[in-house]
Structure 1
Protein backbone atom coordinates (compact mmCIF):
# COMPACT_ATOMS: atom_id res chain seq x y z
CA UNK A 1 0.00 0.00 0.00
CA UNK A 2 1.46 3.33 -1.03
CA UNK A 3 0.86 6.82 0.21
CA UNK A 4 -1.04 9.04 -2.20
CA UNK A 5 -0.06 12.68 -2.15
CA UNK A 6 -1.50 15.51 -4.18
CA UNK A 7 -0.11 19.03 -4.07
CA UNK A 8 -2.51 21.83 -4.91
CA UNK A 9 -3.08 25.54 -4.54
CA UNK A 10 -5.94 27.30 -2.81
CA UNK A 11 -6.86 30.74 -1.53
CA UNK A 12 -7.06 29.68 2.11
CA UNK A 13 -7.89 26.91 4.57
CA UNK A 14 -11.61 27.68 4.47
CA UNK A 15 -11.71 27.17 0.70
CA UNK A 16 -9.93 23.84 1.09
CA UNK A 17 -12.28 22.61 3.80
CA UNK A 18 -15.41 23.70 1.92
CA UNK A 19 -14.33 22.05 -1.33
CA UNK A 20 -13.09 18.81 0.17
CA UNK A 21 -16.23 18.19 2.24
CA UNK A 22 -17.95 17.11 -0.97
CA UNK A 23 -14.98 15.81 -2.98
CA UNK A 24 -14.33 12.11 -2.57
CA UNK A 25 -10.92 11.07 -3.75
CA UNK A 26 -9.03 14.26 -3.06
CA UNK A 27 -8.45 17.72 -4.43
CA UNK A 28 -7.68 16.71 -8.00
CA UNK A 29 -10.94 14.92 -8.72
CA UNK A 30 -14.20 16.39 -9.89
CA UNK A 31 -15.22 15.03 -13.24
CA UNK A 32 -14.13 17.06 -16.23
CA UNK A 33 -12.55 19.71 -14.04
CA UNK A 34 -10.54 19.02 -10.86
CA UNK A 35 -11.55 20.71 -7.63
CA UNK A 36 -8.15 22.47 -7.48
CA UNK A 37 -5.15 23.12 -9.72
CA UNK A 38 -2.57 20.62 -8.58
CA UNK A 39 -0.03 17.88 -9.12
CA UNK A 40 -0.25 14.16 -8.35
CA UNK A 41 2.92 13.11 -6.59
CA UNK A 42 2.46 9.58 -5.24
CA UNK A 43 4.83 8.86 -2.39
CA UNK A 44 6.22 12.40 -2.16
CA UNK A 45 5.30 13.19 1.43
CA UNK A 46 5.71 16.84 2.41
CA UNK A 47 8.01 16.50 5.41
CA UNK A 48 10.64 14.12 4.10
CA UNK A 49 10.62 13.73 0.31
CA UNK A 50 9.39 17.21 -0.63
CA UNK A 51 11.58 18.54 2.17
CA UNK A 52 14.57 16.92 0.47
CA UNK A 53 13.68 18.69 -2.78
CA UNK A 54 13.40 22.02 -0.96
CA UNK A 55 16.78 21.38 0.70
CA UNK A 56 18.38 20.65 -2.68
CA UNK A 57 16.94 23.83 -4.20
CA UNK A 58 18.10 25.93 -1.24
CA UNK A 59 21.49 24.23 -1.07
CA UNK A 60 21.05 23.28 2.60
CA UNK A 61 20.92 20.08 4.62
CA UNK A 62 17.49 18.50 5.02
CA UNK A 63 15.88 18.99 8.46
CA UNK A 64 12.62 17.51 9.73
CA UNK A 65 10.90 20.91 10.02
CA UNK A 66 12.18 22.39 6.76
CA UNK A 67 8.75 22.44 5.08
CA UNK A 68 6.98 23.87 8.11
CA UNK A 69 3.47 22.69 7.26
CA UNK A 70 0.36 23.25 9.35
CA UNK A 71 -2.52 20.76 9.56
CA UNK A 72 -5.79 21.84 7.96
CA UNK A 73 -7.75 18.57 8.08
CA UNK A 74 -8.54 16.95 10.35
CA UNK A 75 -8.82 19.92 12.67
CA UNK A 76 -6.65 20.08 15.75
CA UNK A 77 -7.76 17.45 18.28
CA UNK A 78 -9.61 18.63 21.38
CA UNK A 79 -7.43 19.59 24.38
CA UNK A 80 -6.32 16.60 26.42
CA UNK A 81 -6.77 14.11 23.62
CA UNK A 82 -3.61 12.19 22.87
CA UNK A 83 -4.49 10.50 19.60
CA UNK A 84 -7.19 8.80 17.54
CA UNK A 85 -10.32 7.86 19.47
CA UNK A 86 -11.23 4.85 17.33
CA UNK A 87 -10.66 3.36 13.89
CA UNK A 88 -13.20 5.73 12.28
CA UNK A 89 -11.45 8.80 13.66
CA UNK A 90 -10.03 10.88 10.77
CA UNK A 91 -6.80 11.27 12.74
CA UNK A 92 -6.34 7.52 12.32
CA UNK A 93 -7.79 6.97 8.86
CA UNK A 94 -7.16 10.17 6.93
CA UNK A 95 -7.13 11.72 4.52
CA UNK A 96 -5.02 14.53 5.87
CA UNK A 97 -4.43 17.99 4.43
CA UNK A 98 -1.65 20.33 5.38
CA UNK A 99 -0.81 23.88 4.31
CA UNK A 100 2.82 24.25 3.35
CA UNK A 101 4.87 27.18 4.53
CA UNK A 102 4.99 30.21 2.24
CA UNK A 103 8.75 29.89 2.02
CA UNK A 104 8.34 26.47 0.39
CA UNK A 105 6.07 27.92 -2.30
CA UNK A 106 8.54 30.72 -2.96
CA UNK A 107 11.56 28.40 -2.98
CA UNK A 108 9.96 26.25 -5.66
CA UNK A 109 8.59 29.22 -7.60
CA UNK A 110 12.03 30.84 -7.76
CA UNK A 111 13.75 27.78 -9.24
CA UNK A 112 15.01 28.81 -12.69
CA UNK A 113 13.88 26.66 -15.60
CA UNK A 114 17.50 26.14 -16.63
CA UNK A 115 18.26 24.40 -13.30
CA UNK A 116 15.40 21.87 -13.35
CA UNK A 117 17.46 18.94 -14.68
CA UNK A 118 20.33 19.50 -12.26
CA UNK A 119 17.99 19.86 -9.29
CA UNK A 120 16.06 16.73 -10.29
CA UNK A 121 19.33 14.77 -10.51
CA UNK A 122 20.49 15.98 -7.07
CA UNK A 123 17.05 15.22 -5.59
CA UNK A 124 17.12 11.69 -7.00
CA UNK A 125 20.57 11.17 -5.48
CA UNK A 126 19.43 12.26 -2.00
CA UNK A 127 15.87 10.88 -1.79
CA UNK A 128 16.29 7.34 -0.43
CA UNK A 129 12.47 7.11 -0.39
CA UNK A 130 12.51 7.19 -4.22
CA UNK A 131 15.05 4.40 -4.79
CA UNK A 132 14.15 3.63 -8.39
CA UNK A 133 13.99 7.22 -9.58
CA UNK A 134 16.71 9.11 -11.39
CA UNK A 135 16.95 12.71 -12.51
CA UNK A 136 15.19 12.02 -15.79
CA UNK A 137 12.29 10.40 -13.92
CA UNK A 138 11.95 13.27 -11.46
CA UNK A 139 12.42 16.21 -13.82
CA UNK A 140 8.74 16.30 -14.94
CA UNK A 141 7.61 16.29 -11.31
CA UNK A 142 10.03 19.09 -10.41
CA UNK A 143 8.74 21.06 -13.39
CA UNK A 144 5.10 20.47 -12.37
CA UNK A 145 5.74 21.44 -8.73
CA UNK A 146 7.62 24.60 -9.65
CA UNK A 147 4.88 25.56 -12.12
CA UNK A 148 2.23 25.01 -9.46
CA UNK A 149 4.22 27.11 -6.99
CA UNK A 150 4.53 29.93 -9.53
CA UNK A 151 0.79 29.90 -10.25
CA UNK A 152 0.05 29.90 -6.52
CA UNK A 153 2.32 32.86 -5.87
CA UNK A 154 0.92 34.81 -8.83
CA UNK A 155 -2.61 34.25 -7.49
CA UNK A 156 -1.65 35.05 -3.88
CA UNK A 157 -2.49 31.49 -2.85
CA UNK A 158 -0.90 28.89 -0.61
CA UNK A 159 0.30 25.41 -1.45
CA UNK A 160 -1.38 22.43 0.22
CA UNK A 161 -0.74 18.71 0.38
CA UNK A 162 -3.50 16.07 0.52
CA UNK A 163 -2.32 12.76 1.92
CA UNK A 164 -4.18 9.45 1.84
CA UNK A 165 -3.21 5.87 2.63
Structure 2
Protein backbone atom coordinates (compact mmCIF):
# COMPACT_ATOMS: atom_id res chain seq x y z
CA UNK A 1 0.00 0.00 0.00
CA UNK A 2 1.38 3.39 -0.95
CA UNK A 3 0.87 6.68 0.79
CA UNK A 4 -0.27 9.67 -1.28
CA UNK A 5 0.57 13.09 0.10
CA UNK A 6 -0.58 16.55 -0.93
CA UNK A 7 1.29 19.43 0.66
CA UNK A 8 -0.48 22.78 0.79
CA UNK A 9 -0.61 26.08 2.66
CA UNK A 10 -3.55 27.46 4.61
CA UNK A 11 -4.19 30.41 6.88
CA UNK A 12 -5.17 28.28 9.89
CA UNK A 13 -5.75 24.77 11.18
CA UNK A 14 -9.50 25.21 10.71
CA UNK A 15 -9.05 26.15 7.05
CA UNK A 16 -6.62 23.24 6.54
CA UNK A 17 -9.18 20.86 8.07
CA UNK A 18 -11.51 21.54 5.15
CA UNK A 19 -9.18 19.38 3.04
CA UNK A 20 -10.95 16.36 4.59
CA UNK A 21 -14.12 17.88 5.98
CA UNK A 22 -16.88 19.30 3.78
CA UNK A 23 -18.15 22.76 4.68
CA UNK A 24 -21.72 23.65 3.68
CA UNK A 25 -21.66 21.24 0.73
CA UNK A 26 -18.72 23.06 -0.89
CA UNK A 27 -15.84 21.19 -2.53
CA UNK A 28 -13.07 20.32 -0.15
CA UNK A 29 -10.04 22.61 -0.08
CA UNK A 30 -7.92 20.32 -2.27
CA UNK A 31 -10.52 19.01 -4.72
CA UNK A 32 -9.15 19.04 -8.25
CA UNK A 33 -11.24 19.71 -11.32
CA UNK A 34 -12.69 16.70 -13.15
CA UNK A 35 -10.27 17.43 -16.02
CA UNK A 36 -7.25 17.34 -13.70
CA UNK A 37 -8.38 14.07 -12.15
CA UNK A 38 -8.87 12.52 -15.60
CA UNK A 39 -5.47 13.78 -16.75
CA UNK A 40 -3.83 12.30 -13.66
CA UNK A 41 -5.45 8.92 -14.24
CA UNK A 42 -4.38 8.96 -17.89
CA UNK A 43 -0.82 9.81 -16.90
CA UNK A 44 -0.73 6.89 -14.44
CA UNK A 45 -1.92 4.54 -17.20
CA UNK A 46 0.49 5.81 -19.86
CA UNK A 47 3.57 6.75 -17.84
CA UNK A 48 3.36 5.38 -14.27
CA UNK A 49 6.94 6.38 -13.41
CA UNK A 50 6.33 9.95 -14.55
CA UNK A 51 3.03 10.07 -12.67
CA UNK A 52 4.76 9.01 -9.45
CA UNK A 53 7.10 12.04 -9.57
CA UNK A 54 6.22 15.05 -7.42
CA UNK A 55 4.12 17.61 -9.26
CA UNK A 56 2.28 20.85 -8.62
CA UNK A 57 -1.47 21.20 -9.20
CA UNK A 58 -3.98 23.95 -8.54
CA UNK A 59 -7.15 22.86 -6.69
CA UNK A 60 -10.59 24.25 -7.55
CA UNK A 61 -10.24 26.53 -4.52
CA UNK A 62 -7.10 28.07 -6.06
CA UNK A 63 -4.90 26.33 -3.49
CA UNK A 64 -1.45 25.33 -4.73
CA UNK A 65 -0.88 21.62 -4.06
CA UNK A 66 2.44 19.76 -4.15
CA UNK A 67 1.54 16.15 -4.83
CA UNK A 68 3.97 13.39 -4.01
CA UNK A 69 4.05 9.72 -3.25
CA UNK A 70 5.91 8.30 -0.29
CA UNK A 71 7.07 11.54 1.33
CA UNK A 72 4.88 11.55 4.39
CA UNK A 73 5.28 14.38 6.91
CA UNK A 74 6.92 12.18 9.53
CA UNK A 75 9.93 12.00 7.19
CA UNK A 76 10.22 15.78 7.16
CA UNK A 77 11.84 15.76 10.60
CA UNK A 78 15.14 14.64 9.10
CA UNK A 79 14.88 17.29 6.38
CA UNK A 80 14.28 19.95 9.01
CA UNK A 81 17.32 18.76 10.93
CA UNK A 82 19.39 19.15 7.73
CA UNK A 83 18.02 22.62 6.92
CA UNK A 84 17.86 24.14 10.39
CA UNK A 85 19.87 24.27 13.58
CA UNK A 86 17.35 21.99 15.33
CA UNK A 87 18.23 18.43 16.28
CA UNK A 88 16.13 15.51 15.08
CA UNK A 89 14.83 14.94 18.63
CA UNK A 90 13.95 18.62 19.00
CA UNK A 91 12.04 18.57 15.72
CA UNK A 92 10.10 15.45 16.74
CA UNK A 93 9.22 17.10 20.07
CA UNK A 94 7.69 20.10 18.26
CA UNK A 95 3.90 19.94 18.76
CA UNK A 96 3.38 20.85 15.06
CA UNK A 97 5.58 18.04 13.73
CA UNK A 98 3.08 15.84 11.86
CA UNK A 99 0.33 16.71 14.34
CA UNK A 100 -3.20 15.57 13.48
CA UNK A 101 -5.34 18.52 12.35
CA UNK A 102 -8.35 16.68 10.91
CA UNK A 103 -10.44 14.63 11.20
CA UNK A 104 -10.89 13.81 14.85
CA UNK A 105 -8.75 10.79 15.73
CA UNK A 106 -11.75 8.49 16.08
CA UNK A 107 -12.99 9.50 12.60
CA UNK A 108 -9.87 8.69 10.58
CA UNK A 109 -10.93 6.67 7.56
CA UNK A 110 -7.92 6.55 5.25
CA UNK A 111 -7.28 10.31 4.89
CA UNK A 112 -6.10 13.00 7.28
CA UNK A 113 -4.47 16.42 7.46
CA UNK A 114 -1.22 16.75 9.41
CA UNK A 115 0.72 19.90 10.25
CA UNK A 116 4.22 20.84 9.13
CA UNK A 117 6.37 22.88 11.50
CA UNK A 118 6.79 26.59 10.97
CA UNK A 119 10.54 26.15 11.39
CA UNK A 120 10.66 23.86 8.35
CA UNK A 121 8.43 26.25 6.38
CA UNK A 122 10.83 29.09 7.12
CA UNK A 123 13.93 27.01 6.38
CA UNK A 124 12.47 25.91 3.04
CA UNK A 125 11.43 29.46 2.17
CA UNK A 126 15.02 30.63 2.58
CA UNK A 127 16.58 27.62 0.81
CA UNK A 128 18.63 28.82 -2.15
CA UNK A 129 18.10 26.96 -5.44
CA UNK A 130 21.79 26.00 -5.53
CA UNK A 131 21.43 24.24 -2.15
CA UNK A 132 18.35 22.18 -3.04
CA UNK A 133 20.14 19.27 -4.68
CA UNK A 134 22.68 19.00 -1.86
CA UNK A 135 19.91 19.05 0.75
CA UNK A 136 18.01 16.40 -1.22
CA UNK A 137 21.12 14.23 -1.41
CA UNK A 138 21.69 14.49 2.36
CA UNK A 139 18.03 13.75 3.02
CA UNK A 140 18.01 10.79 0.62
CA UNK A 141 21.08 9.29 2.29
CA UNK A 142 19.64 9.78 5.78
CA UNK A 143 16.00 8.87 5.27
CA UNK A 144 15.50 7.11 1.91
CA UNK A 145 18.21 5.86 -0.45
CA UNK A 146 20.69 7.55 -2.76
CA UNK A 147 18.48 6.53 -5.70
CA UNK A 148 15.77 8.88 -4.40
CA UNK A 149 17.91 12.01 -4.77
CA UNK A 150 16.49 13.17 -8.12
CA UNK A 151 12.88 12.72 -7.03
CA UNK A 152 13.56 14.41 -3.69
CA UNK A 153 15.23 17.33 -5.47
CA UNK A 154 12.09 17.84 -7.56
CA UNK A 155 10.00 17.58 -4.41
CA UNK A 156 12.19 20.15 -2.60
CA UNK A 157 11.97 22.59 -5.52
CA UNK A 158 8.17 22.44 -5.42
CA UNK A 159 7.96 22.47 -1.62
CA UNK A 160 10.34 25.44 -1.46
CA UNK A 161 8.07 27.41 -3.79
CA UNK A 162 5.06 26.48 -1.65
CA UNK A 163 6.91 27.54 1.52
CA UNK A 164 7.94 30.86 -0.03
CA UNK A 165 4.32 31.61 -0.92
CA UNK A 166 3.21 30.56 2.56
CA UNK A 167 5.65 32.94 4.24
CA UNK A 168 4.53 35.84 2.02
CA UNK A 169 0.87 35.10 2.83
CA UNK A 170 1.55 34.33 6.52
CA UNK A 171 0.19 30.80 6.00
CA UNK A 172 1.23 27.53 7.57
CA UNK A 173 2.08 24.30 5.76
CA UNK A 174 0.04 21.12 5.95
CA UNK A 175 -0.03 17.67 4.44
CA UNK A 176 -3.12 15.79 3.29
CA UNK A 177 -2.32 12.09 3.62
CA UNK A 178 -4.28 9.22 2.04
CA UNK A 179 -3.34 5.61 2.58
Q: TM-score, normalised by structure 2?
A: 0.71
Q: Secondary structure at the match of 1:133?
A: helix
**Counterpart selection for 2:103 from 69, 74, 78:** 74
Match of 1:43 in 2: 70
Does structure 1 retain, via aligned residues, the 8 Å contact 2:132–2:156?
A: yes
Deviations 1:73-110, CA, capped at 9 Å, x for gaps: 013x5xxxxxx4xxxxx23x231102222212111111
Q: TM-score, normalised by structure 1?
A: 0.76
In the superposition, relative to structure 1, how do residues 142 and 28 fare at CA in structure 2: closer, same or farther (>3 Å)? farther
Question: How large is the RMSD of aligned CA atoms in angstroms?
Answer: 2.4
**Counterpart selection for 1:56 from 82, 87, 97:** 82
**Counterpart selection for 1:29 from 19, 25, 32:** 32
In the superposition, relative to structure 1, how do residues 120 and 23 fare at CA in structure 2: closer, same or farther (>3 Å)? same
Deviations 1:141-163, CA, capped at 9 Å, x for gaps: 11111111001111111101111
Matched pairs, number: 148
Q: Secondary structure at the match of 1:123?
A: helix
Verify: 1:161 aligned to 2:172, yes or no. Answer: no
Unmatched 5+ residue regions in structure 1? 78-83, 85-89
| 1:116-127 → structure 2 map (5 Å cutoff) | 116-127=132-143
* In structure 2, C-alpha distance between the alignment counterparts of 1:111 and 1:28, rounded to whole Å: 29
* In structure 2, C-alpha distance between the alignment counterparts of 1:125 and 1:132, rounded to whole Å: 5
* In structure 2, C-alpha distance between the alignment counterparts of 1:137 and 1:94, rounded to whole Å: 25
Match of 1:133 in 2: 147
* In structure 1, C-alpha distance between the alignment counterparts of 2:71 and 2:125, rounded to whole Å: 18
Unmatched 5+ residue regions in structure 2? 37-57
